[in-house]
Amino acid sequence: FCAKTKKPFSHMTPVGQDSFEYASNFASEPCPEGLVTIQGNKVRILALERIGDSVFSQNTVRLKCTPRKFIKHPTHNYLIILETDHRTHTNQDKEEIKAELKANTRDEEDMDRDDDEDDDLPEREYGTIKAPEGTWASYIRIYDPHDNVTHDMIELEDNQASISLCTCVFHDTRGEPYLIVGTVKDLRPNPKSAKGGALLTFRFTDDGTKLELVHKTVVGGIPHALCPFQGRLICGIDNIVRLYDLGRRKLLRKCENKNIPNSIVSIQKHANRIYVADITESIHYLKFSKDQLVMFADNWTPRWITCMCPLDFRTMAGADKFGNIFVTRLAEGVNDDMDLDAGGKNWMWDRNAPNSAPQKAEEIVQYHVGDMVTSMNKTELTPGGQEVLVYTTIMGSIGALVPVQSRDDADFFQLLEMHLRQENPPLCGRDHLAYRSKYFPVKDVIDGDFCELFTTLPYVKQRDIAEQLDRQPEDVCKRLEDMRNKVM
- pLDDT interval class at 140 (50, 70, 90): very high
- Cα 408 to Cα 133, 367, 404: the distances in Å are 59, 21, 9
Q: Report how far residue 323's alpha carbon sits from residue 128's, in angstroms, rounded to the nearest whole number.
A: 35
Q: Is 381 helix (H, G, I), strand (E, B) or coil?
A: coil
Which tops the pLDDT comparison, 112 or 415? 415
pLDDT of residue 32: 77
Count of residues in the chain: 488
Pairing of strands 315-320, 324-329: antiparallel
**Confidence check: pLDDT of 118 > 90:** no
Q: What is the mean pLDDT of residues 280-298?
A: 90
- Quote the mean pLDDT of the chain: 86
Instruction: Assess whether pLDDT exceeds 80 at residue 225.
Output: yes
Mean per-residue pLDDT, 175-202: 94
Run of H or E residues at 198: strand 197-205
Percent of the chain with pLDDT over 70: 87
Residue in 410, 432, 425 with CA at minimum distance from that of residue 483: 410
Of 182-191, 289-298, 323-332, 440-449, which range is least confident? Answer: 289-298
CA distance 156 to 152: 13
Mean pLDDT is highest, among 17-21, 223-227, 381-385, for 223-227
* pTM: predicted TM-score of the whole model, two decimal places: 0.81
Q: Give the three-state DSSP class for 315.
A: strand
| Confidence at residue 119, expressed as pLDDT on a 0 to 100 scale | 59
Are 169 and 179 in contact by the 8 Å Cβ rule? The answer is no
Compute the average pLDDT of residues 87-110.
79
pLDDT at residue 7, as a whole number:
40
Please give the pLDDT value at position 126: 77
194 burial type by CB count under 10 A (0-12 exposed, 13-18 middle, 19+ buried): middle
More confidently predicted of 56 and 231: 231
Q: What residues contact residue 271 under an 8 Å CB cut-off, 6+ apart?
A: 313
pLDDT confidence bin for 417, thresholds 50/70/90: very high
Q: Identify the pLDDT of residue 92.
A: 86
Q: Using one digit for the tens of pLDDT, what is the confidence trace for 345-371?
A: 455 444 556 667 888 999 999 999 999
Compute the average pLDDT of residues 418-422.
93
pLDDT for 51 equals 52
CA distances from 180 to 76, 94, 277 (A): 17, 28, 20
- Whether the Cβ atoms of residue 317 and residue 308 lie closer than 8 Å to each other: yes
Question: Who's near 284: CB < 8 A, 6+ residues apart?
Answer: 259, 260, 275, 276, 277, 278, 295, 297, 298, 299, 357
- Over residues 205-225, the mean pLDDT reads 94
- 373-395 tens-digit pLDDT: 999 999 998 877 889 999 999 99
